[in-house]
Each structure stands twice: as structure tokens, then as C-alpha cells.
Structure 1
Amino acid sequence: MKIVLTAMPWHGLQTASLPVGILKACADRCRRPHEVVEHYANLAWADLLDEESDGAITPDDYAYIANVGVWHSIGEWVFASALYEDPAWRTDEFLAYLADRRIDPGKALVMRPYADRFIDMTVDHLLGLDPDLVGFTTTFSQNTASLAVARRLKRRRPSLPVVIGGGNCEGPMGAAMSEHFPYLDYVVSGEGENAFVALVDALDEGGDLAKGGDLAKVPGLIWRAADGSPRRNPPASMIPMTRVPRPDYDGWQSAFTASRAARTVNPELTLEAARGCWWGEKHHCTFCGLNGTAMAFRAKPAGDFLADLTDMVARHRILDVVMVDNIMSNDYFRELLPVLRDRDWDVTIRYEVKANLRADQLAALADAGVRHIQPGIESLSSHVLTLMEKGVHATQNIQVLRDADDFGLTVDWNMLYGFPGESDEDYQVVLWQLPALVHLQPPAGTTRILLERFSPYFERPELGFVARQPARQYHHVYALAPEQLYDLAYQFEGDRKGLTGDLEKELRLAVRAWAESGPTSSLVQSTTEHGLLIEDHRHGWPQGTYPVNDPLAVTALQALRNPRSEASLIARLAERGGDTAARHAVDYLTERGLVFAEGGRLVALPTAARPLRPVAGAEL
């Protein structure tokens, strides 16, 4: 058989599709050999936009739709016109939605007129390959482009089997895809490694839909019998990571190198060492819908992943590595990071980690070549973090932000709000201290949580979100009734909870000011013969250099490199200088903005060195 695996927009331009790469490698496990061809339609789409607009629509414009527009289905709306073959498809609804939320559409309106021709070009290309099976992977904003191509493929060659799988097909979403888009012959729900091999073997033995092989044994497969009746196979068991093959990215690298995007886009390697979440197994974060039905944590042995990393970097000559794991295995701090440190590579790695990391763990990450971390900070209120089931204190999050600067780590985080049970007081105590944090890395933004399918908030209405409906964004994409959208949607809306009104606006403005002032702000502490020296260059604070010579204040700042309770700190200082002097020392540090106080605990704010910060608009 000749199998074509397709990555549609809006997959990122800088990376290969991990599902496509893994499934291509899995084809070697089929009973008979097959030819597998990858088609990176996302690159073809970006090239078409660039060429037809004479460079006016850039890869940066593509990235905006892919990365920001994903939360508002902007990219899905672009291709909905081709899916429903209506150039004006729900334009008024789309623009009204964006206006209500003050969302920039990017260049979606300029891109959309090219969508229909691009879908036809993609269908021509795929049929020109004379495939026996075409597969699509869909996650986030890849649905409408994939569906539009699938629909036209079946129209032009009805006997061609079409299969789709990926995150957008998890759980009830897969059944909804099969029900509402009948030109999809097969939908795979859940992990695809074993299902892909079983499906290919079944089709290879049976030859066509009417005489298909043993489709009933394909795990997680949603399909129709020869009489048209729907079938849904039992879900696949979770695959051990030792059975997940090293992805084959050769086809992607050739396509990327030949693309116009390669002129300005830096390629990155996407790798996977683990699935599930070891924290979520015990305490599922209330807002998180990641992992769907596969929360159990599984990781490759450190040696196996090191072999993958070594081979992929050497094979593709790409030094920027992005890990898609939801969380790093704790074993890797002992078994992987020291090995990477000793190899002294020029490889840079991005990794998602737990927020409560110690300074020595952050140092181990930096020494191993990790340069970018996503620690799931999410809030600076301990009460809100408790509502999330994050298992960390706000002062631990501040410590990570502070120490990350000392080790040259970029931190990616968002400030979330809108949790049932949060109060204005949770944010007021943070807001009055935000100006003191301006030297630390700010959140990318402030975001009211949505209800995500599979999250505890979605699965358990008693936690606060009793009323819910598919997020409004789906209405400018699909020709489906609300009750039909319910099973298809991943994002939902309910009654607004928690922070609202003027305080919500104040938080947003304060975080925006933090982002604007951060690159030119610093707060550095060094040791002198007589105590400590503070170099304060924070925007909005009296800037200058001054000593901290009071022995109790010096002791307090040094002790607060790790968060501790205010009561225990006062008691420790009082043993040396009495209660009044101890209180005075802590008050002095607070007034100077040298400590962060929240939930009865304190943590020191000065970094050990002035961090390097990119300054917007600076010339290289």
C-alpha cells in the first residue's frame, strides 16, 4: 500500500509533525512493507500566502494565527469557507466575536480568499501521489483544513480510504467527527501507534471497505460497517513509551528546506520522552484538560531518550529541541541531566516542568542545555493555587522566577484567573506587590480560564461550573447545532467566576505594565565586607545602589533565598536581636520591595546577577 500522512495548517512551520513522524516509523511494524509519504501542507500553505501576497503575508502572520488565533478559532474560520464552499462563511459572526473580545484577527481576512484554491491544490497533489490510504492528524486548529481536503478527496475518488486521528479526536470528539463528517471513513480515538498498524494491516488484507479486514480489532477505531451502520471499537490501552518509536523526520526536513519559510524560520526538533502527568495522577489540576483519557505517567528510560536525542540531533543537524512532554520525569534530574551536562553540547532544550523546583534543580537544567522552561506557575496567590490543585505556594513560584534569572533560563508562564472560590482579596495582596516584581520575567498575559473537556471543572460540575456550553468561537466555524457542537468541542464557557470588574481590569493593566518595564529593570544583590549591596534599577522605584548593613536584615535576606514562614523568620531573628528589632528588619525589607509576602510566607526578590534581557526594538 501507498500511505500518505498529511499535516495540515495550522501546524507550526518550524517543526515536524510528531504524530506523522511516529506513524511513519510505526509502518515498519506492519505485516507487510508499505510506502509512507508525508505531505506538509502547512508549509505549502505558508508558501502560497507568501508568494501570492508578494511577501505581504509572512511566516510571522502564519504564526500569529497558529499560536494566538488557536484560542479563538481564527485559523479554523479561515478554512471553514473552503469546507462549506462559501467564501462569505459566517464573516459577520466572526468579526462580531473578535470585536466583543477585542481580539486582533491578524491577517485572517486577507488569507481567507486563498483557502479554497489551496484546498484544491492539496487535493490535486494528494491524488497525484496515487495513494491507497490518506491519513490526517488533527490537533488544535487543524480540523477545518483537514475536513475540507477529506471532503473533496472523497468527492473525486470515493473509493479512497480516509482516516483521521489526533487530539481533536479524543473521547466523544472522535465520535462527533465521524457522525458529522461522513466523508471520514475512519476516526482513531486515543493513542495511534498500535491502531495505525492494525488499521493498515486490516485494510491491506481486505482491500476495500466492503471486504475490509478485521477492522473490529483496531483499537479506538470509529468506523462504519458495509451496511453503513456506525461502529466504535474499545479504546486502545496506553502504550509504554518503550514502544513509541523514534520519529522519522526525513520527509519534513526535505520539505522544510525547500520551502520559502526556511528563509526566515529557524527549524526546531520536536521530541517526546513521556506521556501523561505524574502530578495529575495524584492531583489533577482543576482547569487542565490535557492528557484526556491517558493521564497515567509513562517515560522513556533516560538512556533510551538520550539515544533518541543524540541520533536526531546528529541526523538533522538541528540544535534547538522542543520537548512536548507535559512534565519532566523526576528520574531525569539524576539520570539524564548530568549526562547532558558532561557532554557539553551546543544543544538548547525547551521543557515543561513542575513549578516547585529548587535552585540546584534549576542549575542542573541550565547546565544540561535547557534554556526555556514552562513551569506551570499560573498564579501568585496561594489560595488560587490551592483551588487549582497545583501543590505549590506562591512564594515558591517567585523563587523559581528569581532563580531562573540567575541560571539564564527563560520562563514561559501565564497568569490565570476566574476560578470558583477565588476572591478579590486573593488578587489585592498580589497587586500591591507587583511593582516590586518588575525585574522578574512577567507572564505572557492574564487569561480567564475556559472550561476544557476532560478537566475536573468540566467533568465535575459540583466544583463550580454547573452551566456550560460550547465556547462561542465554534459558532463561526461549524454548521452544527449547539447540541451537536457539545461533543465536538474542546473548549466550553460557563458562568463567569471569581475576579471581575475594575479589579480584573487593574490586574490586566498591571501585568501589561510589568511586561513593558521588565526588560529594563533589575534588582541585584551582592555580598560586601559589611553586609549586602543592593543595586535597584527597577522601573517605578527609587533607582540606585545602597548597602544593607543591619545584621538582622542581612540574615533575613540570606535566609529568604528559600521561602519560609514569616513567623519562623521573626522567631529566628528575635533570638539574635529581640522581637522589636526583628520586626523592624522585616518591615524594612518589605518597604524597600526586597521581599514578596503572601499567605504567611516570605521570599527574597533580589537576583544574584543582572539578567540578560532582550529589549524590544533594540538593534543587533
Structure 2
Amino acid sequence: MSGLQPLGSVDICLVTMPFVDLCRPSIALGLLKSALKSSPYRVSVSYGNLLFAEKVGVERYGLQKFGRQTRLAGDWVFAQAAFPEHVTDTSDFAQQIAQDIRRLAGLDRDPETLNRLAELVLDLRDQATAFVDEMVESVLAQTPRIVACTSVFQQHTASLALLRKLKERDPELITIIGGANCTGVMGVANIESFPWIDVIFSGEADDQFAPLIDHLMRSGLAGLDAACLEGVITKTSAIQLRDVSGKDLPCAFVSDLVTSPQPDYEDYFTTLRQVSYRDQIVPGIPLESSRGCWWGHKCGCTFCGLNGHNMRYRAKRADQVLNEIRSLRQTYGIERIEFVDNILDMGFFDDLLPRLANEPRKFNIFFETKANLTRTQVGRLKAAGVGWIQPGIEALHDQMLKLMNKGTTNAINLQLLKYACEFGLRVIWHVLYRLPGEEDAWHGESAKLVPLLHHLMPPTNFVPVTVQRFSAYHDDPEKYGLKLQVAPGYLDIYPLDVERIGQLAYFFDSNLDYPSAHDRHDGFLALNKAIRDWKRAFANEDAPPILGMRDEGESIFILDTRACATERRFRLEGIQADVLRCCDPALRSERLAPVLAEHHGRRYTESAIAQAVEALRERRLLVEVSGKLLQLAVPGEIPDLPARSTFPGGIDAPPNLAALIGASAKTAVAA
């Protein structure tokens, strides 16, 4: 850090601490800095995540990505700095994190590997404590009157550690923390538990942050409660909120995104240009076109805790989004745009996407969408420069999807995967398990389907559902037969009683331990293996599986290189070709005859249609899912997918674990 160019004197220092990705700036702090542009106050944004990676090395920084989400490895690394009085068995926890890293990275099982990984984790923890001291000096050198940290996921203890030591050094400094880890009851628990915090901001700060800063700069903390700023929690107001229901606790809300400013990312790029590892980072730009979730507002996925208790959906105008994209590219020279929306506004298919398609220079864009997109809509995404989507597929079985309240079907999911393959979009998706009410047989049924899908994008992960605060599972556990307790990582991190930890925690464990080591779950095991085989086959860059079709009118030519193929090349004619054409999108079997007659001018007997369907199923070209028939072949020339290195959200250098373990071993021997 000492080699970085110092920032000048400021009034307000906004800080993002580890652990968050290095390859993109903080949209939260970018928005807050923009919100203060019309104020008379000087503002800086300190990227503590970039600075910590400069201290420990970008590869060591990336170790926390391998930890289990509920293990809270990133928060544990900074726990010693935040709570030096809280003595726990660090060696045991380091071994647990090492187990996570070894398993997720696919390293060998020998004890020496685990010991070396644990050494790395412990060393990272020690360096975190020293780093916080250095960060304190860096912030105080700017002589701010106010320091505000953003806290999402696993950057909470790093933020608490920084603010605690700043307050110890300068008791007159006003300290603020906000972000997802401070929403509602979590915010109240934080300000009551950590006396060095002066103000908690709960919710969306765009509209309220400038008035808050103006009050603090003019009057300090005096009279802040009387100012009645939405989302602001102080020590005195927290006392009054103790008995308020979780859904009624303060949470600021921006009703109209038209007033939301374009984020200012200049501090991020200034810092990135100064760090030694800058050539290892390919940055992306986070941007939002909407907030909330129109599906969540209507029904909501049972496992989702995003947006707190306010799912209300709000979207920007298409021209506003387009102007922001253009401006950000012109300012920072970057065309990678990661939209951080929970879900794409369906209205954008008719206004924003066509306008993006007409841009002379295409952007490289990521969007989260719903899975029920048509072929035309997927084509519009591709034409607009959207090469990556996350459609919330989550399962390959209708009963699992119903348990989740996904509002889709397996047929819809498979259609989307097929359309994405047709247009060359990368799909980020997961298969979830350990849902209340699931049956092992459903996993077995999904496993039987998977070999037919090897030509389509496989899931990124096969993972258990985690219980998140604000989700239906958390808000009404009795309804789902759940008994909840805080994820065990919190107990090793916070010097608080279990009840208080339960108020500030976001992740929870449940009594669902399925699949456990004590029971056989043949369906789960079969699906786990089937997904591994699918990912392995699809990853074969020299010869990835293909199921393609070329329709020449009278005949359809099929190329099938899947392991389950009955023939590599063959031709379909007559009724089989006609039936195949009819089953995209998926179609109920009883609709085949009228559709063939109405749209194709073909009149076949029910018996002939049934025989054709069976023949196509035997060739593994046709499947029956969600009560419908869906043909699996991808039409036309199948385009290449975007390279993984083109992800719009930017690319960090992946940790070279083998090299890190070797370096750790040499250090230990030398010592």
C-alpha cells in the first residue's frame, strides 16, 4: 500500500473492504459518490479489496472463493482484526476451510495438502490484521470527518474491523455502515452490538444519503433522529425498534429509478492502474436497469432472500439505460457491462434490446432473466450484445420447480437451454437440492434425462439450498417443517450470544441434512454423477457433443455426436420430420394432429403419429417433459459460445493452488 499514490484531503471517505471481487467497482459506492456530486463536500472511495490483494497477492486473495458460502471464510479471515478479544480455535476452523478448498478445487486428499492449505488460510488471517492497521493510516491520511463502509456478503467483519480501529484512533470521526448486511433487523443488531458504529443505513441510500451527509457535516449526530431520514438507524432509535416486527423495520426505498444517478467509478480505475497485478485483472462495469423482482413481487421463489421484504419492481426507461451504457463506455473505455438486476424487464425486449442491436459498436452484456423466453426473445438478446444470461433454471424436474415456486416447467427450462445453444449464449445456472418436501426419486428421474442433454450447456453447480434471511423458508419455517439455527461459521466469528447472532446473520442451517452419510439416496447419487459426466463431456473443446439439424424442406438431416446417439448421421422424412418440426416449442401430444393439419397441411392418423413419436423417442430426439413433447435438436449452424474469459462482469486471476501450496511448503521448511 505504501507505494500507491495517496489521496488528497476529503470530507467523506467511502470504503469497500475485502472480500468482494477485484474485477469490478462497487456500484453501491459509485452511486453514493454520484449522489454527493452536487454537494459542497469532497468525497473519495477507497478500494480496500484492491489494496488487500496488493498486500497478499491476487492469488491468495482468491482463496476465499473456494470456501463454502455458509462457512463465511472471508469474514473469518478478518474476525481476529475485528474482535481480538474473541479467542477461538483458529487451527480447527482453518482445517475446515482447507477441506472446502481441497474438495472444490479437486486437490488430492493427503494430509500434507490440507496442512499446507490451512497454513495459507492462517497466514491470510494474520496478514488481514496487519492490513487493517495500514488501511486505518491510509484513511486517516485523508482527514475525513465521516467514513462509510458498504457491506455485502463476506466483507462485514473487514468493515467492522476498519471502523473499530478508526474510532479508537479518532473518537470524533463519524462512522457509518450500510448494505445488504445491514438491512432491517440486521441493522438494529449491528448498531446495538458494535458501539464504534454511529449510524446504520438500512435499504437503498440513493435519495437519503446526501441529506444524511449534509446533516452530519453541519450538526454531527445531534438531532439526527429528529431529522426522520428514511433507513437511518442510530443507537437511540434502535432502542425504540427492538419490539418492531422484522417486516416493519426501517428500510429506505427508491420509488423511481429515473432519479438514480449514473455511478462514478473513477476511484476504482485510479486504484487499479496503481496496483502491481493490474495486468491480471480484466475489469467489467456493473450497472442496473431495474431493482426488485417482478416475479418475486407476484409470487416469489421460496429460497430467495434478495431484496429483503420489498420485492416491488422498478425499471429505468430504455433511453436512460442506453445513455448510461454509452457514457460509461466513453468514460472508462470498457464494453463489458454486467447488469446487476435480479431480473430483466420484459418490456426491454421491445425497446432497449432493439436499440442496443442498432449500436454501431456492440457491448458485451450479462443479464439475469426468467427462463420462459421465446426463441425470438433469445435472438433479440444475442443481437443486442447479450452473450451471457442467468435464467434461474434451478431444477430439471417439475415437482422440484413447484416446490421452489419458480413459475416455470422443465419443458420451459430445456427450451431455453436449446435456444441459448442455437444463438450462442452462455447460460449460468444451477441445480439445487435439499428442499423441504423433495423426493429422492425425482433426482433419479432427472438423472435419466441428463444424457440426452449433453449437447446443451450444463449446470455450473449441483448445490444444496441455503436458508437465507428474508426467504420464505426463513420467514415461515414451520410451514416447511424446518428448524433453523445460524450457520456455524457465525459462532466462530462474532463474540456475541446466539440470539444476537441470529439477528445479524443472513445464512442459516436447517434440520434437513439430506443427503446424509447415514442413508442411501440412489436418485441423488445418480444425478450427481450424471451432472459430472455432462460437464465433463461438454468441456471437451476438441469434440463437444452435438445434436444438430438441417431442415431442407422435404428432409431433415441430423448430426448426433452425443454418447447416447443411436446413429451419428441420418435423415428424417415424412411424418417423422413433420412431428419433429411441430415439437418446438414443446407441444402436448393431443395437439399434434390438429397442429400438423392446420400449420403443415398434413393429415395423419393418430396411430401413425404415435408411431412417429415413438420412433423419434427411440432415436433420443424427442422427450416428454411437463406433459409435453419437446424435440432436442438444435437447428442451423451451431455458433461458438463466448469464451469464458469474456464474462461481462470482468475476470480475476484464478488462484494457482498448486503453486501456492508449494510456496507455503518452502516457507515452512525455511522457517
User: Do both share a fold (TM > 0.5)?
Assistant: yes
Is residue 191 from structure 1 mapped to residue 185 from structure 2 by the alignment?
Answer: no
Q: Which residue of 2 aligns with 1:125?
A: 138
In structure 2, relative to structure 1, the CA distance for the partners of 1:558 and 1:326 (3 Å cut) is same
Alignment of 1:45 onto 2:52: yes
Amino acid at match of 1:305: V
8 Å CA contact 1:10–1:42 kept in 2: the answer is yes
Counterparts of 2:46 and 2:513 in 1: how far apart (Å)?
44
Q: Is the 8 A contact 2:424 2:641 kept in 1?
A: no
My pick for the range that moved more, 429-438 or 253-262, is: 253-262
Alignment of 1:21-420 (within 5 A): 21-30=30-39, 33-50=40-57, 58=59, 61-63=60-62, 65-66=64-65, 69-85=68-84, 89-95=88-94, 97-98=96-97, 102=103, 108-206=121-219, 208-209=220-221, 211=222, 216-225=227-236, 234-420=250-436
Amino acid at match of 1:72: R
Equivalenced residues, count? 603
Determine helix, strand or coil for the equivalent of 2:139.
Answer: helix
Partner-residue secondary structure (3-state), 1:194: coil
Given that 2:225 and 2:234 are in contact with CA atoms closer than 8 Å, whether structure 1 keeps it comes out as no
8 Å contact from structure 1 (residues 560, 604) kept in 2: yes
In 1, the alpha carbon distance for the partners of 2:628 and 2:451 equals 19
Q: 1:611 to 1:540 in 2, by over 3 A?
A: farther
SS across alignment from 1:163:
strand
Task: Work out which of the residue numbers 530, 537, 543 in structure 1 matches 2:561.
Answer: 537
The answer to whether the Cα contact below 8 Å between 1:241 and 1:299 also exists between their aligned partners in 2 is: yes
Letter in 1 for 2:55: L
Determine whether 1:432 maps to 2:433: no
Q: Does 1:598 align with 2:625?
A: yes
Q: In the alignment, is the contact (CA less than 8 A) between 2:401 and 2:409 conserved in 1?
A: yes
**Mapped partners of 1:596, 1:64: distance in 2:** 42
Larger deviation, residues 259-268 vs 63-72 = 63-72
Structure 1 distance, partners of 2:322, 2:410, is: 34
**How far 1:534 moved relative to its partner?**
1.0
Distance 1:196 1:67 in 2: 35
How many Å separate the matches in 2 of 1:448 and 1:384? 13
Q: Deviations over 1:504-552 (max 9, x none)?
A: 2221121111111013211111124641111111135456211122x22
How far apart, in 2, do the equivalents of 1:542 and 1:62 lie?
Answer: 48
Runs of 4+, deviation exceeding 6 Å: 228-233, 497-500, 614-617
Q: How far apart are 1:427 and its partner, in Å?
A: 2.4
The unaligned stretches of length 5 or more in structure 1 are 51-56
Does residue 567 of the first structure (1) align with residue 590 of the second (2)? Answer: yes
Cα deviation, 1:168-203, whole Å, max 9, x if unaligned, reads: 101211111111111111111111123312221211
Q: Could you say what secondary structure the match of 2:272 adopts? A: helix
CA distance in 1, matches of 2:498, 2:528: 32
Segments of 5+ residues of structure 2 without an aligned counterpart are: 1-9, 106-113, 243-248, 646-671
Is the 8 Å Cα contact of residues 465 and 494 (structure 1) preserved in structure 2?
no
SS at match of 2:254: coil
Deviations 1:323-364 (A, max 9, x none): 000011111111111111111323110001111000000000
Q: In the alignment, is the contact (CA less than 8 A) between 1:324 and 1:351 conserved in 2?
A: yes
Give the aligned CA root-mean-square deviation in angstroms: 2.6
Given residue 516 of structure 1, which amino acid in structure 2 is its aligned partner?
R
Quote the residue 1:525 is aligned against.
Answer: 549
Q: How far apart are residue 367 of structure 1 and its match?
A: 0.3
TM-score (norm 2): 0.85
Moved more, 343-352 or 3-12: 343-352
Matched-pair identity in %? 33
Residues 372, 546 of structure 1: CA spacing in aligned structure 2 closer, same or farther, 3 A cutoff? same
Answering whether residue 465 of structure 2 is matched by residue 449 of structure 1, we say: yes
What residue in structure 2 maps to residue 612 of structure 1? 640
Displacement, 1:294?
2.4
Q: 1:86 deviation in Å?
A: 7.2
The CA deviation at 1:571 is 6.8
For the residue of structure 2 that corresponds to 1:564, the secondary structure is: coil
In the alignment, the residues of structure 1 paired with residue 317 and residue 553 of structure 2 have an alpha-carbon distance, to the nearest angstrom, of 48
Counterpart contact for 2:98–2:121, Cα < 8 Å = no
CA distance in 2, matches of 1:222, 1:474: 23
Partner of residue 534 from structure 2, selected from 498, 514, 530:
514
The TM-score, its normalising length taken from structure 1, stands at: 0.91
Distance 1:264 1:240 in 2: 38
Q: 1:504 aligns with which of 493, 503, 524?
A: 524
Partner AA of 2:578 in structure 1 = T
Partner residue, 2:613? 586
- 1:464 lines up with 2:463 in the alignment: no
Displacement of 1:116 after TM fit? 1.1
Contact 1:191 / 1:239 at 8 angstroms: preserved in 2? no
Match of 1:54? none
How far 1:475 moved relative to its partner? Answer: 2.4
Contact 1:12 1:66 in 2 (8 A): no
